[in-house]
A = this chain, B = another copy of it.
Amino acid sequence: MMILVTYDVNVETTAGKRRLRRVAKSCTRYGQRVQNSVFECVVSMSDYLTLKKELLEIIDEDHDSLRIYHMGSKYSSHIESFGVDNHTDIDGVMIL
Contact = CB atoms under 8 A, between A and B. Distances in A.
B61 A82 contact: yes
Contact of A65 (B6, B64, B66, B85): B85
Interface in A34-78: 34-38, 52, 55-56, 59-72, 78
A12 interface: no
Contacts of A89: none
A83 B60 contact: yes
Contacts of A37: 35-38
A67 B84 contact: no
Interface in A1-45: 4, 6-8, 34-38
A63 B35 CA distance: 12
